[in-house]
Amino acid sequence: MRFLFPALAATLLVAPAAAQEGVSPAPILTTPDARDVWTYARPEVARVTHVDLDLTADFQRKVMRGTATLDVLAAPGAEEIVLDTDELDIESVTAEDGRPLAWRLGADDPQLGAPLTVTLDDAERITVRYSSKPGASALQWLSPELTAGKQQPYLFSQGQPINNRSWIPTQDSPGIRQTWDATVTVPDDLVAVMSAEMLTPEGVAAGEGRESYRFRMTRPVPPYLIALAVGDLAFRELGPRSGVWTEPTMLDAAAYEFGDVEAMIDAAEALYGPYRWGRYDMLLLPPSFPYGGMENPMLTFLTPTLLTGDRSNTDVVAHELAHSWSGNLVTNATWSDSWLNEGFTTYFENRIMEALYGPERAAMYSDLDWDGLERDIEAAGGADAPTTRLHGEPGATFGQLDYFKGSVFLRTIENIVGRERFDAYLRGYFDRHAFQPQTTAGFLADIRAHLIEGDAELERRLQLDRWAYQPGLPENAVHVESATLAAVDADLEAFRSGAPVSRIDTQGWSTQEWLRFLNGLPRELPAERLTELDSTLDLSRSSNAYVRSAWLELSIANRYEPALPSLRDFTGRVGRGLLIRPLYAGLMEQGDWGKAIAQDLFANARATYHPNTAAQIERIITAPAQ
């Protein structure tokens, strides 16, 4: 049985059963599987329902400073509220009438930060005055050299999964949704944007050389979706409800690359129901952005490594847009359920790509994901490895298996029940759980109630529990294959039998064809073959970051030194984890030769990476040799 917060404990904490769109407080889940071990919050005692930020970005000191005013909904008799913080300097906590409230910071955990416990003393709204530390894990402060324009500094935040507590003291759990407002004050030659409705497109003078921007999110969201960026930003409209923000010199390229976005929104709505967030804008960031994309509501954040001039990487836009349903509307209750966000989204993303570009292009993405699925299962230690389970410890699903295995799970259901029936089910699913958290068990209960409806034969064929809870890949898994990529496989076969590289026609290849080719090449190649590849295909100088990364990975596996300058340039510029982690990991597999290079590259690049990425790379290059 799953239930919203039980009425006897605290009627106050319960939202209307059929949560109305955009109504706060949104329901929380209290089943044991919905307990989030990555938060200190105890929302059943007292919870935050609304966050009001008033912060100044101090680029000299690299801190955010100001106040967070939190609306508190407390159960009868509750005396305290517990918030998440990470390295915040707390100055004071006051009640709505200005009286000071007692507070204490608990022991600091390196991963979770420290609980901030505030004595409520009947307060319903509390104001925390604080500042972040210069090393805050959510924030990257970029010096001007790391931007496209090279004149102005830049700041951006990355909240998922639990970084936002390093700049916002609130209950930082995906199951505790909050509406929010913000006033952000920045130097007047910069522009602030956030994952919300922008109330002051023109910024309002806020004293000497400073301007304030105001934002409002009226739909309750999990706090990891609060995002901020500040820089020399310009905007270009792309459609009636879509547009792109970026530095002025990147605006034309961005507008071309993402020109299909409005059509994607239309396609997504036709599949799974209305887009419920108003506008869908994008922010194209500097290359140190650690992800391909991040689904910040109303303002997806994107890496500039998507810019290849041929729109072949807009699957990432489709992906982040799809999160407006799977993730932002129906949200994993804890990070153990991340496949409900990422697996659903990877499936949904592919359906958008199919709607826009047809089944063959969509099959290319799926087929490549299948390669990733097989690679990840192998790297996890094989089909019995516990980290190949979709549901497990938070963050424990290996590599991108929450994406790949999760999406193949949904594809398999689609194949068994038929597309029409599955689509109708998913539309209903997003409606039933809109603006609510969801667990793996909750999804299984929902699909049993609304799709399987007691059909024992169907239940047997689907193997839902096996998919959700067991390691490896069930035998009913559906592998979508692409004819375009099969043609690349034929080129690979020719290469393996000694054909010269010049015989391979790479003219007009998409990123996906390149990836199939480069990742399908034998891992061990003689230097002459590598030289031939590089000189014929100009790989070391490729401006396509995916191609560069795959080529460099192959070069490293062969200790091919002519590629080292390209490697140094790439790792010193690009901070997207997916493209650089394999390079450092590959170097570490090459004994002392690789280790020395990895350490040198990291020393050179560290300051350009987001704090989280820097920490990940540091773990890779200091891991004990295997």
Q: Which residues are catalytic?
A: 320, 403
Only one residue has tokens 């990555």, namely: 38
Least distance to Zn ion, CB of residue 317, Å? 12
Backbone angles phi, psi at 608, to 5 degrees: -95, -10
Is residue 344 a contact residue for ligand BES (CB under 6 A)? no
User: Within 252-281, which residues bind ligand BES (CB under 6 A)?
Assistant: none
Least distance to Zn ion, CB of residue 366, Å? 16
Query: Are the C-beta atoms of residues 394 and 332 closer than 8 Å to each other?
Result: no
Least distance to ligand BES, CB of residue 20, Å? 27
Q: Please give the sequence-ordered ranges of beta strands (E in DSSP) within 386-491, or none if there are none.
A: 436-438
In terms of Cβ atoms closer than 10 Å to its own Cβ (0-12, 13-18, 19+), residue 190 is buried
Is residue 491 a contact residue for ligand BES (CB under 6 A)? no
Minimum CB distance to ligand BES smaller for 113 or for 293: 293
Least distance to ligand BES, CB of residue 338, Å? 7
Is residue 323 a contact residue for ligand BES (CB under 6 A)? yes
Minimum CB distance to Zn ion smaller for 315 or for 342: 342
Give the span between the Cα atoms of 401 and 408, in whole angstroms: 10
Give, for 480, the enclosing helix (H) or strand (E): none
Q: Which one of 86, 320, 446, 553 is in contact with ligand BES (CB under 6 A)?
A: 320
Q: From Zn ion, ligand BES, none, which one binds at residue 614 (CB under 5 to 8 Å depending on kind)?
A: none
Is residue 553 a contact residue for ligand BES (CB under 6 A)? no
Among the listed ranges 103-111, 311-319, 533-541, 585-593, the one in contact with ligand BES (CB under 6 A) is 311-319
Q: Which one of 24, 131, 147, 160 is in contact with ligand BES (CB under 6 A)?
A: 160
Q: From Zn ion, ligand BES, none, which one binds at residue 551 (CB under 5 to 8 Å depending on kind)?
A: none
Is residue 297 a contact residue for ligand BES (CB under 6 A)? no
Rounded (10°) angle between helices 545-557 and 564-571: 130
Binding stretches for Zn ion (CB under 5 A): 342, 345
Is residue 13 a contact residue for ligand BES (CB under 6 A)? no
Give the span between the Cα atoms of 142 and 150, in whole angstroms: 10
Is residue 578 a contact residue for ligand BES (CB under 6 A)? yes
Q: Identify any residues that bridge with 229 across adjacent strands, giving them in sequence order.
A: 156, 193
Give the span between the Cα atoms of 570 and 237, in whole angstroms: 31
Task: Please work out, in degrees rounded to the nearest 5, the angle formed at the alpha carbon of residue 609 by the alpha carbons of 282 and 555.
Answer: 100
Least distance to ligand BES, CB of residue 57, Å? 22
Report which residue's Cβ sits closest to ligand BES.
292
How large is the C-alpha radius of gyration of the chain?
25
Is residue 295 a contact residue for ligand BES (CB under 6 A)? yes
Smallest Cα–Cα separation from 83: which of 185, 22, 153, 171? 171
CA distances 392 to 143, 159, 375, 396, 439, Å, are: 39, 22, 20, 6, 12
- Sign of the Cα pseudo-torsion (258, 321, 516, 418, in order): negative
Among the listed ranges 15-23, 315-323, 418-426, 517-525, the one in contact with ligand BES (CB under 6 A) is 315-323
Least distance to ligand BES, CB of residue 293, Å? 5
Least distance to Zn ion, CB of residue 345, Å? 5
Is residue 161 a contact residue for ligand BES (CB under 6 A)? yes
User: Within 362-421, which residues bind ligand BES (CB under 6 A)?
Assistant: 403
Query: Are the C-beta atoms of residues 415 and 478 closer than 8 Å to each other?
Result: yes
Q: From ligand BES, Zn ion, none, which one binds at residue 84 (CB under 5 to 8 Å depending on kind)?
A: none
Give, for 194, the enclosing helix (H) or strand (E): strand 191-194
Binding site for ligand BES (CB under 6 A): 160-161, 291-295, 315-316, 319-320, 323, 342, 403, 578
